């Protein structure tokens, strides 16, 4: 698979003015209306090179958006990784020591013998995250692909993604073998809890359109959660709903056995194969085939290739 070099269409803003926060946690802000309502969190920079969410959250802070009901928390997560951004090595600032989106299980967070930049950040944010009713985690993708609403494996996630209405593709999946994502942490990942979370993959990391998707997702999420009214939405942020929505249920994750993995073509995501048994790649010499008809590829990429990394997920198109 040839790794395409994508143009950097957006500027990476200076976030130093937001370092203090107002919660006792650097780069994290909470605003309370003083009126009944849910606690809604919009999180950016889980990965340091995924700038679209940071641009949207910065704009919300700069614009002085405040909740009419409940509380809103706006956060920049892995700023240490973000500071390492180098346009000559644009994929290198994803994290410092380990992926921040693979550490959100209590067994890891509670084990103080384990230490990393990302673990320290997750531990600092954890008490506040534990108070959040609804979380929107803003991400972007290695490859250029249509935006995705990654809602987790539970029916409550699919239902919330349907109510949000954007983007058009809803991906229901159980996460990664490497570790637990923020959107699956704690009660977010429990079927019996009313707390819920969505992860939006807004587009390719550095395309301008990803910022548009991030802003639209933020506005619609805060409206859905009831924290703001339509007139509070910044001008130009809301975009029309897609004509159709598609739900893909992920059934399998293809995990690299080593760095010896290659795809059969330059896949970027949402490729659909009508026939079961279609060869899509080779994992350390072993053929990887589609397990059923109309199999959808979800976020294929070799940019972080190493043993244990999910290189693509396989899903059934439900609607």
**Tens digit of pLDDT at every position of the chain (319 positions):** 457 889 999 999 999 999 999 999 999 999 999 999 999 999 999 999 999 999 999 999 999 999 999 999 999 999 999 999 999 898 889 999 999 999 999 999 999 999 999 999 999 999 999 999 999 999 999 999 999 999 999 999 999 999 999 999 999 999 887 899 999 999 999 999 999 999 999 999 999 999 999 999 999 999 999 999 999 999 999 999 998 999 999 999 999 999 999 999 999 999 999 999 999 999 999 999 999 999 999 999 998 899 988 999 999 998 8
| pLDDT the model gives residue 102 | 96
For 240, residues 6+ apart whose C-beta sits below 8 A from its C-beta are none
Tokens of 120: 């320290």
Region for 308 from its dihedrals, namely left if φ exceeds 0, alpha if ψ lies in -120 to 50, beta otherwise: left
| pLDDT the model gives residue 2 | 59
Examine residue 105 and state whether it is found in any structural domain, yes or no: yes
Examine residue 114 and state whether it is found in any structural domain, yes or no: yes
Domain containing 99 equals 16-232
Helix-then-strand count for the chain, H and E: 6, 14
Helices (H), the chain: 51-62, 79-82, 106-109, 117-129, 155-164, 208-224
Q: Return the bridge partners of 207, or none.
A: none
- How many domains does the chain fold into? 2
The verdict on 197 and 264 lying in the same domain is: no
CATH number at residue 305: 2.40.50
CATH number at residue 155: 3.40.630.10
| pLDDT the model gives residue 133 | 98
| pLDDT the model gives residue 178 | 81
| pLDDT the model gives residue 90 | 86
CA distances from 195 to 104, 130, 156, 297 (A): 16, 10, 9, 29
The verdict on 44 and 95 lying in the same domain is: yes
The verdict on 256 and 211 lying in the same domain is: no
| pLDDT the model gives residue 4 | 81
Region for 165 from its dihedrals, namely left if φ exceeds 0, alpha if ψ lies in -120 to 50, beta otherwise: left
The verdict on 183 and 286 lying in the same domain is: no
């Amino acid at each position: 698979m040839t790794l395409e070099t994508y143009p950097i269409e957006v500027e990476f803003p200076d976030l130093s003015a937001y370092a203090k926060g107002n919660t006792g946690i650097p780069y994290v802000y909470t605003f309370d209306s003083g009126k009944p309502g849910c606690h809604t969190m919009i999180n950016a920079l889980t990965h340091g090179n995924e700038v679209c969410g940071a641009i949207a959250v910065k704009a919300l802070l700069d614009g002085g958006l405040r909740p009419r009901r409940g509380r809103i928390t706006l956060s920049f997560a892995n700023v240490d990784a973000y500071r390492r951004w180098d346009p000559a090595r644009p994929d290198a600032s994803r994290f410092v020591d380990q992926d921040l989106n693979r550490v959100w299980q209590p067994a890891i967070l509670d084990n103080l013998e384990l230490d990393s930049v990302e673990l320290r950040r997750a531990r600092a944010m954890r008490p506040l995250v534990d108070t959040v009713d609804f979380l929107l985690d803003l991400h972007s993708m290695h490859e250029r692909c249509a935006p995705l609403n990654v809602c987790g494996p539970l029916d409550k996630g699919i239902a919330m993604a349907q109510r949000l209405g954007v983007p058009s593709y809803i991906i229901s999946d159980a996460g990664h073998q490497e570790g637990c994502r923020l959107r699956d942490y704690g009660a977010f990942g429990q079927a019996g809890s009313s707390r819920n979370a969505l992860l939006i993959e807004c587009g390719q990391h550095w395309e301008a359109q990803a910022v548009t998707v991030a802003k639209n997702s933020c506005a619609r999420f805060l409206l859905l959660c009831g924290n703001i009214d339509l007139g509070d939405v910044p001008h130009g942020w809301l975009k029309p709903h897609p004509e159709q929505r598609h739900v893909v249920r992920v059934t399998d994750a293809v995990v690299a056995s080593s760095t010896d993995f290659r795809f059969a073509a330059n896949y970027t995501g949402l490729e659909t194969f009508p026939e079961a048994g279609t060869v899509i790649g080779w994992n350390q010499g072993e053929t990887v085939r589609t397990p059923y008809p109309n199999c959808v590829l979800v976020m294929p990429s070799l940019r972080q290739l190493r043993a244990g990394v999910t290189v693509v997920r396989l899903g059934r198109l439900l609607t």
